[in-house]
């Protein structure tokens, strides 16, 4: 997709905030624990490579991604730290995994057997690094019984072209006040651990929420995801254990200001009509950028003033009602701080009746990312 460098709309990413979030989490971690920064989905919309470099500066020692292409992007950008792909990779790509020294998740016995067949056809310099995923109640991918996990580990130990590097699970309710299901998952993982004779280099169960509110779980590595970007994984339910610093701001400018008489319609479908003389400002951002139509009625900040979005948000532009005549070129803050007031990603998510993860990931590549 073309990046809109020649318009005033941009995402501003504060890399210092990312560094500080990592450092603050590392201060809390038990001795011997590592922090892997989760930079999947283009760093939750923040930009994977720049986020990864900031995380390294903060003390991260590895990375987690969702797909092979994301791991390759990091390697080709010069990232040399360990990288784990959290999802399933087709065995036909094993040679790429080896070439780029990327660790992979094994979720079924069938995958391990197919991987063995594939590896036996290759001359390799180093074994394929494998993390065993245990499904303790998420219902996505992974082995579901201790017996199946033991069989998988036995396969890895026999096959010399594979290395058992990790064992992990993922909690579905670590960000909620009610801990009953979390405890059930935790007990299931403990049962797996109890039948094993030894453990791999990495045992990891903690995402950001688990690290924040359940710090006594087993493991020596944290998958630090949403907390990396300064966002509370629980939304409103639980308070963050330390001040998180949001890294993302979204800003633009007024590209036209006009005074309209009463009775004038604004936007597609004529869903808003001026009731008196009103100053209307136009901003160059729309739903093609991820500023979705459901945000109609939400407010942005101009010169410290809350200005409501009126009329339907268009593909490339939206209109706001101004309290007075304002200057073309005036900064518009859609997310972030402006003259002492703030709009957060959580506020946008609340308006959209979703989570801030989704909002951050929705911003398209058309919006340039500026790093400071």
Establish if 241 belongs to a structural domain: no
Q: Say if residues 20 and 27 touch (Cβ distance below 8 Å).
A: no
**Both tokens of residue 20?**
């500080």
Number of structural domains found in the chain? 2
Residues 156, 271, single domain; the answer is no
Q: What is the pTM of this model?
A: 0.94
Q: Are 221 and 185 within one domain?
A: yes
For helices 146-158 and 180-194, give the axis angle rounded to 10 degrees. 40
pLDDT over threshold 90, residue 178: yes
* pLDDT at residue 233 tops 90: yes
Which of these is catalytic: 160, 242, 258, 268?
A: 268
- How would DSSP label each residue in 236-292? TSS--SS-----EEEEEE--EEEEE-TT-EESGGG-EE-SSSEEEEEES--GGGT--
Contact status, residue 208 vs residue 238, Cβ threshold 8 Å: no
Render 190-210 in DSSP notation, one character per residue. Answer: HHHHHT-S---SEEE-B-HHH
211 shares a domain with 147: yes
Does 331 score more than 90 pLDDT?
A: yes
Which 3 state secondary structure label does DSSP give 95? helix
- CA neighbor of 321 nearest in space, from 249, 262, 248, 251: 262
pLDDT, residue 216, reads 86
In a domain, 10, yes or no: no
pLDDT at residue 218 tops 90: no
Annotated binding site for substrate: 140, 315
For residue 6, tell me if it sits in a domain. no
Q: Is 268 a catalytic residue?
A: yes
User: Do 159 and 256 belong together in one domain?
Assistant: no
Residue stretches of the annotated binding site = 140, 315
Say if residue 187 is in the same domain as residue 327.
no
In a domain, 193, yes or no: yes
Asked if residue 8 belongs to a domain, the reply is no
Specify whether 188 is located in the same domain as 271.
no
Answer yes or no: do 39 and 178 share one domain: yes
Give me the sign of the Cα torsion angle 238, 244, 247, 249: positive
Q: Which residue is associated with the tokens 């639980």?
A: 238
pLDDT digits (tens, 9 = 90+) for 119-148: 998 888 899 999 999 999 999 999 999 999
Of residues 335, 331, 330, 232, the one with CA closest to residue 289: 335
332 and 300 Cβ atoms separated by less than 8 Å? yes
CATH, residue 361 = 2.40.37.10
pLDDT at 1 over 90: no
What confidence tens digit (pLDDT) does each residue in 59-89 have?
999 999 999 999 999 999 999 999 999 999 9
101 shares its domain with 156: yes
Residues of the chain above pLDDT 70, percent: 100
Q: What is the DSSP letter of 125?
A: S
Tell me the average pLDDT across 209-220: 92
Asked whether residue 205 falls in the same domain as residue 297, the answer is no
pLDDT average, residue stretch 226-251: 96
Average pLDDT over residues 278-283: 98
CA dihedral 208, 210, 215, 219 (to 10 degrees): -90
Q: Which of 19, 40, 53, 129 is catalytic?
A: 40
Residues 66 and 201 in one domain: yes
Q: Do 279 and 211 fall into the same domain? A: no
Q: Are residues 155 and 291 in the same domain?
A: no
Beta strands in 298-338 (DSSP E): 299-302, 305-310, 318-322, 331-338
Residue 20 banded pLDDT, cuts 50, 70, 90: very high
Q: Whole domain around residue 292: which residue ranges?
A: 248-371
Please report whether residue 204 resides in a domain.
yes
Whether the pLDDT of residue 217 is over 90: the answer is no
The CA distance from 270 to 261, in Å, is: 15
In a domain, 9, yes or no: no
Which secondary structure element, helix H or strand E, spans residue 19, and what is its range? helix 15-28
Residue with the two structure tokens 């580990």: 153
| Amino acid 191: pLDDT | 97
229 is catalytic: no
234 occurs within a structural domain: no
Percentage, residues of the chain above pLDDT 90: 97
Please compute the mean of the pLDDT values over residues 237-264 and round it to a whole number.
96
Q: Which of 229, 261, 276 is the last residue of a domain?
A: 229
Q: Which of 182, 200, 229 is the last residue of a domain?
A: 229
Q: In the structure, what pLDDT confidence band is assigned to residue 312 with cuts at 50, 70 and 90?
A: very high
What average pLDDT does the chain have? 97
Rounded to a whole number, what is the distance in angstroms from the first to the last CA of the chain?
Answer: 23
- Note whether 133 and 141 are within 8 A (CB): yes
Question: Which residues on adjacent β-strands are paired with residue 248?
Answer: 13
Higher pLDDT, 1 or 296: 296
Which residue matches tokens 């979204």? 250
Residues 22-53 have pLDDT tens digits of 999 999 999 999 999 999 999 999 999 999 99
Look up residue 37 and give its two tokens.
């920064």
In the structure encoding, which two tokens stand for residue 250, read together?
């979204």
> How many other C-beta atoms are found inside a 10 Å radius of the C-beta of residue 88?
17
DSSP element (H, E) containing 347: helix 345-352
Q: At what angle do helices 48-58 and 15-28 cross, to 10 degrees?
A: 40
């Amino acid at each position: 997709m073309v990046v809109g460098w020649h318009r005033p709309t941009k995402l501003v990413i504060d890399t210092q905030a990312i560094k500080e979030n990592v450092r603050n989490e590392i201060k809390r971690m038990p001795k011997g624990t590592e922090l892997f920064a989760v930079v999947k989905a283009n760093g939750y919309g923040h930009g994977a490579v720049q986020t990864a470099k900031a995380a390294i500066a903060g003390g991260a020692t590895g990375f987690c991604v969702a797909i092979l292409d994301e791991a390759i992007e990091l390697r080709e950008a010069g990232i040399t730290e360990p990288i784990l792909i959290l999802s399933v990779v087709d065995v036909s790509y094993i040679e790429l995994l080896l070439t780029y020294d990327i660790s992979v998740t094994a979720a079924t016995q069938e995958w391990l057997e197919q991987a063995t067949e594939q590896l036996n056809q290759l001359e390799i310099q180093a074994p394929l690094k494998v993390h065993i995923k245990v499904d303790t109640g998420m219902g996505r991918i992974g082995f579901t019984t201790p017996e199946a996990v033991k069989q998988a580990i036995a396969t890895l130990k026999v096959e010399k072209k594979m290395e058992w590097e990790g064992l992990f699970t993922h909690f579905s309710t670590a960000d909620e006040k009610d801990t009953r299901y979390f405890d059930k998952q935790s007990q299931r993982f403990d049962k797996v651990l109890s039948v094993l004779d030894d453990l791999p280099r990495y045992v990891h169960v903690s995402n950001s929420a688990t690290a924040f509110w359940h710090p006594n779980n087993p493991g020596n590595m944290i998958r630090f995801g949403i907390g990396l970007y300064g966002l509370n994984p629980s939304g409103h339910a639980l308070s963050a254990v330390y001040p998180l610093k949001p890294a993302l701001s979204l800003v633009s400018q007024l590209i036209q200001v006009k005074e309209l008489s009463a009775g004038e319609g604004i936007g597609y479908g004529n869903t808003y009509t001026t009731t008196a003389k009103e100053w209307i400002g136009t901003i160059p951002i729309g739903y093609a950028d991820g500023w979705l139509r459901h945000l109609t009625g939400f407010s942005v900040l101009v010169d410290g003033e809350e200005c409501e979005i009126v009329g339907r948000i268009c593909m490339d532009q939206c209109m706001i009602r101004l309290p007075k005549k304002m200057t073309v070129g005036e900064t518009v803050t859609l997310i972030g701080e402006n003259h002492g007031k703030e709009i957060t990603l959580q506020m946008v998510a609340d308006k959209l009746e979703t989570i801030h993860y989704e909002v951050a990931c929705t911003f398209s590549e058309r919006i340039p990312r500026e790093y400071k």
